[in-house]
Amino acid sequence: MKKEFGGPAIFLDRSDINTDEIIPAKYLTEVTKDALKPYLLEDLTLEGFDPKGESLQQARVVVTRENFGCGSSREHAPWVFEVNGIHTIIAESYARIFRQNMFNGGMLAIELPKADIDRLFALQRSGSVEISVDLEQQNVLARSSARQESIPFEISPFDKALVTAGGWVEFADARY
Amino acid sequence: MGKTIAEKIFDAHLRDEPFAGTYVLDLDRVLCHEITTPVAIADLEWRGKDRVFDNTKIKAVIDHVTPAKDSKTAMQAKILRDWAHRHELHDFFDVGRNGVCHALFPEKGYIRPGFTVIMGDSHTCTHGAFGAFAAGVGTTDLEVGILKGVCAFRKPRTIRVNLNGTLAAGVYAKDAILHVIGQIGVNGATDRILEFRGPIVEAMSMEARMTLSNMAIEAGGTSGLCLPDMTTVDYLWPFIQDDFPSRESALEEYRKWCSDDDAHYEQVLDFDLSGLEPQVTYGYKPDCVKPVEEMAGSRIDQVYIGTCTNGRIEDLRVAAAVLKGRKIADHVRGIVSPATPKIFSEALNEGIIQVFMDAGFCVTNPTCGACLGMSNGVLAEGEVCASTSNRNFSGRMGKGGMVHLMSPATAAASAVAGVIADARSL
Ligand code: SF4
């Protein structure tokens, strides 16, 4: 089933945020996705970021920099976002496995050039940002109380098909 | 135009191209461990599709936390064990016969040149040392691999890494790969395949090549391939001798996977490693790399020798040669974990285990253990570990702990000195 995309955004202003920071290995003993919920980004140290804070709890979109999700193959990383209602990540680039895991789970890992990511970060300086995603038109609309940015994005037909199908298991099961 | 080894493997395994540039490959091996597989198993059950595509091609091991340390890890092991038995997997490795996946599966002869291999583990790239396309994947890819025997990849883009010159005495594959990662960065090979070439790679043993390929992912690489040659054939010979009349004929067969001379590479990187010094990491990313002399004297609390990077017999031999007749520093905790039972027994027979024990090391059973901070040597806040593993992320071996990556020789020397030290000047 296709997921919901968009909502309030949280901004993580750093490159190379790794899977151990997203969900520490000690929680990998959990065998359900829901059990991961309280631990999202628990080990991320970043100025102004509080893993227990309200802005993370309300967030439905993450905006960040380069090579997001590098390190381990653990799908617990996308899952911990998923169970916290975050189905959309917007970054300059991703680690391959993390990116694939997002689409395999029917979620969106949108890649934008640095200039566009900079525009989103600039927008955030004028207040909290709400993002909506138009998958058909391949467009991101980001709004703060002051102004808005409309940014088109690229997505491969395969990734789009995964999102539409609800994930890779659904896609593969119907086809192979 | 010629083809790279990865392109040849893709061509030979192509099941489907649902969209231009998306390649769905048939898989020769789907490897499983108890951390990432249980959720895939649970999901298959939930979907009413608790099946496996081929119980001879799926191999499973309990390796990350073993023997189980608590009820939760016992349950993960149980889920994998019950599933393996339910589907009559031919090769499943439980307590006593289990070892670190990326050391165990090659040692059993499961990986062959030209194979496609996936596992729910990022260091699956290790198996590229055999000239296989081996990639770490997430649980959903694993799940589809188990059910359908396929996995989707983008068109392979290869960076050829030529390791030229010769490694000086006391400088190892670990130093070479740390140096390469230090140069190209943790994002330097993202979504790319690394092809390791050059006289240094040709001269390496399979163990050393596995160390090299193991860390491809630390530069973001999907897989790290070495071309099959006589070293590959010699290693595999006990497993393939019934398939080929001679080693030469096996080599001829495997050579067909080698990259063509006129193959296209996205990038070709040349490294002359003749003057390379032993390398050590300093920060929380594997590309924070310095020569050992710049790190010498740094405080450590623990030394960890083992893992899928450097827990093989050659690694233990190197470390034992440094430790022989010496004691580790009083304030240092030394932990060694031979990566498989076979390696453990070899080390026992060669007297290596005794050397470690005489030096003051704790010898653990084969397991990932402290490498990912789950058992057998987790660090306390503020503690520092000199480790032969592959990942130094903040908190990797325990919240608030720090990890310095290095070769087994450097780790052993550091255990003796009580601070980071160069084995050549001990
Ligand atoms: S030894 Fe460490 S890096 Fe290797 S598979 Fe185990 S946890 Fe992963």
Verify whether the Cβ–Cβ distance A172 to B150 is below 8 Å: yes
Residue with the nearest Cα to atom 2 of ligand 1?
A: B371
Same domain for B140 and B28:
yes
Q: How far is A112 from chain B (nearest CA, A)?
A: 16
Q: Considering only alpha carbons, which residue of chain B is nearest residue A75?
A: B138
> How far apart, in whole angstroms, are the C-alpha atoms of residue B90 and residue B82?
14
Nearest CB neighbour to B36, from listed A74, A161, A168 = A74
Query: Quick one: which H or E segment has residue A68?
Result: none
Among B104, B127, B154, the domain-final residue is: B154
Question: Domain range spanning residue B306?
Answer: 279-425
Q: How far is B412 from chain A (nearest CA, A)?
A: 26
| Whether the predicted pLDDT of A138 surpasses 70 | yes
pLDDT tens per residue across span A28-82: 998 889 999 999 999 998 998 999 999 999 999 999 999 999 999 999 999 999 9
Residue B238, pLDDT score:
98
- Among B34, B101, B405, say which to mutate for ligand 1: greatest number of ligand atoms within 8 Å of CB: B101
Interface contact B381, partner A, CB < 8 A:
no
From B34, B304, B308, the mutation candidate for ligand 1 (largest count of ligand atoms within 8 A of CB) is: B308
Distance B141 CA to ligand 1 centre (A): 19
Q: Are residues B219 and B332 in the same domain?
A: no
Top residue of B187, B223, B288, B307 to mutate, by most chain A CBs within 10 Å, is B187
CB interface of B with A, residues 177-236, below 8 Å? 186-187, 190-191, 220, 222
CATH superfamily of A6-175: Aconitase, domain 4 (3.20.19.10)
Residue B17 contacts A, CB cutoff 8 Å: no
Q: How far is the CA of A83 from the centre of ligand 1 (A)?
A: 26
Residues B137 and B118 sit within 8 Å (Cβ to Cβ):
yes
Which pLDDT tens digit goes with each residue over A70-126? 999 999 999 999 999 999 999 999 999 999 999 999 999 999 999 999 999 999 998
Q: How confident is the model at residue B1 (pLDDT cuts 50, 70, 90)?
A: confident
B32-68, pLDDT tens digit by residue? 999 999 999 999 999 999 999 999 999 999 999 999 9
Name the residue facing B140 among A29, A104, A176 (closest C-beta): A104
| B160 Cα–ligand 1 center, Å | 25
pLDDT (0 to 100) of residue B145: 98
Please name the amino acid found at residue B113.
P
Mutation test residue for ligand 1: of B307, B309, B343, the one with most atoms within 8 Å of CB: B307
Cβ within 8 Å, pair A96-B70 = no
At residue B324, what are phi and psi to the nearest 5 degrees? Answer: -55, 125
B104 lies in the same domain as B199: no
The answer to whether residues A96 and A159 touch, using CB atoms and an 8 Å cutoff, is: no
- Alpha-carbon distances, residue B155 vs B140, B219, B278 (angstroms): 20, 19, 36
What is the reported pLDDT for B148?
98
Q: Do both B250 and B287 map to the same domain?
A: no
Compute the C-alpha angle B340/B346/B349, nearest 5°. 145
Domain count, chain B: 3
Are residues B165 and B130 part of one domain?
no
Q: Based on the fold, state whether residues B170 and B253 are members of the same structural domain.
A: yes
Residue nearest to atom 1 of ligand 1 (CA): B307
Task: Let me know whether B197 and B309 are in one domain.
Answer: no
Asked if residue B149 and residue B9 are part of one domain, the reply reads yes
Candidates B417, B236, B412; CA nearest to B324 is B412
Q: Name the band, by pLDDT with cuts 50, 70 and 90, for residue A3.
A: confident
Residue A4 has pLDDT above 90, yes or no: no
Q: Please tell me whether residue A33 adopts helix, strand or coil conformation.
A: coil
What global pTM score does this model have? 0.95
| Candidate from A24, A33, A97 with C-beta closest to B136 | A97
Ligand 1 center–CA B371 separation, angstroms: 6
A31 or B399: which leads in pLDDT: B399
Residues B361 and B394 in one domain: yes
Which one of B139, B154, B169 terminates a domain? B154
Mean pLDDT of A124-147: 95
> Nearest chain A Cα to B375, which residue?
A26
Is B76–A29 a contact, with Cβ atoms under 8 angstroms apart? yes
Residue whose structure tokens are 């597989």:
B37
B381 and B305 within one domain: yes
* Whether B15 and B129 share a structural domain: yes
Judged by CB atoms closer than 8 Å, whether chains meet at A156 and B19 is answered as: yes
DSSP summary character for residue A31: -
Do B373 and A21 make contact, defined as CB atoms within 8 angstroms? Answer: no
Residue A8 pLDDT > 90, yes or no?
yes
The reply to whether residue A71 touches residue B391, judged by beta carbons under 8 angstroms, is yes
User: Which among B210, B243, B272 is the end of a domain?
Assistant: B272
pLDDT band at B177 (very low <50, low <70, confident <90, very high): very high
- Mean pLDDT confidence for B162-181: 98
Residue B222 confidence (pLDDT): 97
Report the distance separating Cα A81 and Cα A101, nearest Å.
12
Per-residue pLDDT tens digits for B192-239: 999 999 999 999 999 999 999 999 999 999 999 999 999 999 999 999
Residue A2 above 80 pLDDT?
no
Same domain, B293 and B421: yes
What pLDDT band is residue B88 in, cutting at 50, 70 and 90?
very high
Q: Is A30 on the interface with B (CB under 8 A)?
A: yes
Ligand 1 pocket (Cβ < 6 Å) reads B 64, 100-102, 121, 123, 307-308, 368, 371-372, 389-390
CA angle B16, A4, A84 (to 5 degrees): 105
> Are the CB atoms for A85 and A107 separated by under 8 Å?
no
Segment B320-343 shows an average pLDDT of 98
Q: Which atom of ligand 1 is nearest to the CA of B372?
A: 7
Say yes or no for a CB contact (<8 Å) between A31 and B143.
no
Using alpha carbons, select from A142, A106, A154 the residue that is nearest to residue A4. A106
User: Does pLDDT of B263 surpass 90?
Assistant: yes
Helix and strand element counts for chain A (H, E): 7, 7
Q: Which residues of A touch B38 (CB under 8 A)?
A: 31
Nearest-atom number in ligand 1 for the CA of B306 is: 1
pLDDT of residue A1: 63
The 3-state DSSP class for residue A35 equals helix
What is the model's pLDDT at position A13?
97
Report how many Cβ contacts below 8 Å link chain A to chain B: 147
Taken as a whole, chain B contains a residue count of: 426
Residue B356 confidence (pLDDT):
98
